Amino acid sequence: MPSELSLFVLIRDASTIVQVVMVILIIASVLSWAYIFSKFKEIRRAVQTSDEFEERFWSGIDLADLYRQLAHQAYHAEGIENIFLSGFKEFARLRQQAGITPDAVVEAAQRGMRVALSRELEHLDEHLPFLATVGSTSPYIGLFGTVWGIMNSFRALGAAKQATLAMVAPGISEALVATAMGLFAAIPAVMAYNRYSTDVGRLANRYEAFTEEFLSLLHRQAHAK
């Protein structure tokens, strides 16, 4: 009996509908774990980059020197660095042009930073809706497989002249496997979504706070002369 009702045998001998449900849940689970690991690395890198950049930014370094250092780095700037580069690029470009008022220079830098900020937040939110979808729908998809497996079991039970536990055990077992797979796909996705949504929210607040502080510095520089 244990060998006959092994997990592999239950999946192999399950009805077509239940097998389709299991395949969907397996794919959803694999994709979820891939996004969970990639998002973990992405958020950790964004936090480290922000810590290192803000340490340099508030060390008293000249903003033009910091801009040149970041602009000539080999890797593509992202996160808070990209916000700084976008704002200071517009600030330096328009400040050198004649006839541009200081307020117009600051407004252009602000627009550049806002665009960069929006792109960075959009990048941080990437794949989070998928995790939310998997977390909310997987239990119901598994439940559909469960109901279908139980229906098949009772159908076989009704057609039999003599009902035995061995007749309904495979159908009930495959139904329970579908339920377990739905929960296995949903629970990590929900936990990861809640954790990463909080982390993204903290990074968003950090980026917005830096944007406002940097904008104040640019405003003072623009009106210094």
How remote is the C-alpha of 168 from its chain's centroid?
A: 42
**Quick check: 167 and 160 in contact, CB under 8 A?**
yes
- DSSP single-letter state for residue 76: P
Distance of alpha carbon 28 from alpha carbon 134, whole angstroms: 7
End-to-end Cα spacing for the chain: 87
Print burial letters for 29-48: b (CB count within 10 Å at least 16), e (below 16).
bebbeebbeebeebbeebbe
**Quick check: 168 and 156 in contact, CB under 8 A?**
yes
Give 207's contacts (C-beta < 8 A, 6+ positions apart): 50, 79, 80, 83, 117, 120, 121
pLDDT at 1: 42
Distance of alpha carbon 102 from alpha carbon 186, whole angstroms: 53
pLDDT at 100: 82
pLDDT at 2: 45
**Residue 64 Cα distances to 34, 85, 155, 169, angstroms:** 40, 10, 77, 73
pLDDT at 38: 95
Q: pLDDT digit of tens for each residue in the chain (225 aa)?
A: 444 556 566 666 667 787 888 889 999 999 999 999 999 999 999 999 999 999 999 998 889 899 988 888 756 778 899 999 999 999 988 888 877 888 899 999 999 999 999 999 999 999 999 999 999 999 999 988 888 878 877 776 666 556 565 666 666 777 788 888 999 999 999 999 999 999 999 999 999 999 999 999 998 888 775
Distance of alpha carbon 77 from alpha carbon 85, whole angstroms: 8
**Quick check: 56 and 70 in contact, CB under 8 A?**
no
> DSSP per residue over 135-181, as a string?
HHHHHHHHHHHHHHHHHHHHHHHHH-SS--HHHHHHHHHHHHHHHHH
Residue where the block lists tokens 């930014």: 57
Other CB atoms closer than 10 Å to residue 97's CB: what's the count?
Answer: 9
Distance of alpha carbon 12 from alpha carbon 177, whole angstroms: 12
